[in-house]
């Protein structure tokens, strides 16, 4: 697998070093990349990251009849996955993951950052049930201060969610630390770790405002 474990083999923070993911993230960063291409790239990166992040889905042998004979063959076991984008920007990643797992259920968490305090404000939460039996994949392209990610995981756990993977395209060291310290059981999959946050809590060099770039708002 083309992923590197950040804090050591026992830890739950993984950075993808696949060249396709790195190349596509570089294209995302370019301010000349327009909305249509940006959206397409987010979808493609989500699919590549999803492939890596879902490497440990449980399998069970099922009986299948081939044109030649009957055989036992491995298929994904257990309850269907729950994909949970954090609105708005996480929505851009959903189709990339559901291309891999078409039967997944989809929940939504609505959250935006207060422009002055940078604290997350929750406005919506609807999760597939029973949530406690599912592997839950939380999607958000940006992990900046980590406030939104932490609060989203709090909400999921408060509703019974247990096995949680958090997939983000770009993360700041501050956000990784906050999410990992508050929720060490959550597996964090990161496309690229950037340098730092600026005074407006934007990731540097980052890609700007992910939601605005995906939806063409400003
Ligand atoms: C962005 C992003 C994350 C959050 C990350 O959302 O999609 O949810 O900021 O920042 P944090 O780690 O400091 O909490 P934003 O608040 O811009 O909302 P939007 O996606 O609706 O535009
Ligand atoms: N949210 C974004 O969309 N971009 C950042 O750099 C930080 C938070």
pLDDT for the residue 2: 60
- pLDDT score of 79: 84
> How many angstroms separate the CA atoms of 66 and 74, rounded?
14
- pLDDT tens for the chain, 218 residues long, are 566 676 666 689 999 989 999 999 999 999 999 999 999 999 999 999 999 999 999 999 999 999 999 999 999 998 889 999 999 999 999 999 999 999 999 999 999 999 999 999 999 999 999 999 999 999 999 999 999 999 999 999 999 999 999 999 999 999 999 999 999 999 999 999 999 999 999 999 999 999 999 999 98
Strand-pair category, 108-113 with 163-171: unpaired
Active-site choice (39, 113, 134, 213): 113
Q: Does the annotation mark 209 as catalytic?
A: yes
pLDDT of residue 25: 98
pLDDT of residue 138: 98
> So what's the pLDDT on residue 113?
94
* Fold of the 3-57+75-215 domain: Rossmann fold (3.40.50)
Per the annotation, the verdict on 117 as an active-site residue is yes
Cis upstream peptide for 205 (omega within 30°): yes
pLDDT at 205: 98
Beta bridge partners of 139: 85, 167
> Which protein residue's CA is at the shortest distance from atom 8 of ligand 1?
148
Q: Where are the domains of the chain?
A: 3-57+75-215
* Position in ligand 1 atom list of the atom nearest CA 175: 12
Residue among 146, 209, 211 to mutate when testing ligand 2 (max atoms within 8 A of CB): 209
Alpha helix (H) ranges present in the chain? 19-29, 35-53, 91-98, 147-158, 173-182, 210-215
CA of 215 to the centre of ligand 1 (A): 13
pTM: 0.96
So what's the pLDDT on residue 10? 64
Contact 151/119 with Cβ under 8 angstroms? no
For ligand 2, say whether the CB of 210 is within 6 Å of any of its atoms.
Answer: yes
Q: Is 113 a catalytic residue?
A: yes
CA–centroid distance, residue 51 to ligand 2 (Å):
24
Question: Which residues, judged by CB distance below 6 Å to any ligand atom, belong to the binding site of ligand 1?
Answer: 86-89, 111-113, 118, 120, 140-149, 175, 201, 209-211
pLDDT at 1: 54
Nearest ligand by distance to the CA of 211: 1
Interatomic CA distance for residues 80 and 69, integer angstroms? 28
Residue 84's pLDDT is: 98
Burial 158-186 (b: 16+ CB within 10 A, else e): eeebebbbbbbbbbbbbbbebbbeebeeb
């Amino acid at each position: 697998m083309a992923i590197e474990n950040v804090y050591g083999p026992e830890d739950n923070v993984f950075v993808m070093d696949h060249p396709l993911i790195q190349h596509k993230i570089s294209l995302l960063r370019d301010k000349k990349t327009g909305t249509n291409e940006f959206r397409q790239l987010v979808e493609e990166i989500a699919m590549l990251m999803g492939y890596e992040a879902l490497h440990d889905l449980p399998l069970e042998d099922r009986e299948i009849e081939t044109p030649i004979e009957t055989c036992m063959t491995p298929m994904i076991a257990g309850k269907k996955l729950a994909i949970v984008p954090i609105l708005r920007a996480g929505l851009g990643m959903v189709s990339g993951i559901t291309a891999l797992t078409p039967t997944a259920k989809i929940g939504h968490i609505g959250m935006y950052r207060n422009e002055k305090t940078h604290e997350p404000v929750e406005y919506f939460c609807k999760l597939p049930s029973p949530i406690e039996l599912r592997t839950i994949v939380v999607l958000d392209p940006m992990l900046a201060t980590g406030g939104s990610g932490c609060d989203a995981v709090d909400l999921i756990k408060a509703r019974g969610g247990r096995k949680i993977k958090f997939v983000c395209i770009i993360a700041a060291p501050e956000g990784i630390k906050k999410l990992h310290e508050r929720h060490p059981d959550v597996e964090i999959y990161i496309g690229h770790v950037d340098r730092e946050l600026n005074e407006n809590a934007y990731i540097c060099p980052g890609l700007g405002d992910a939601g605005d770039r995906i939806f063409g708002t400003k």
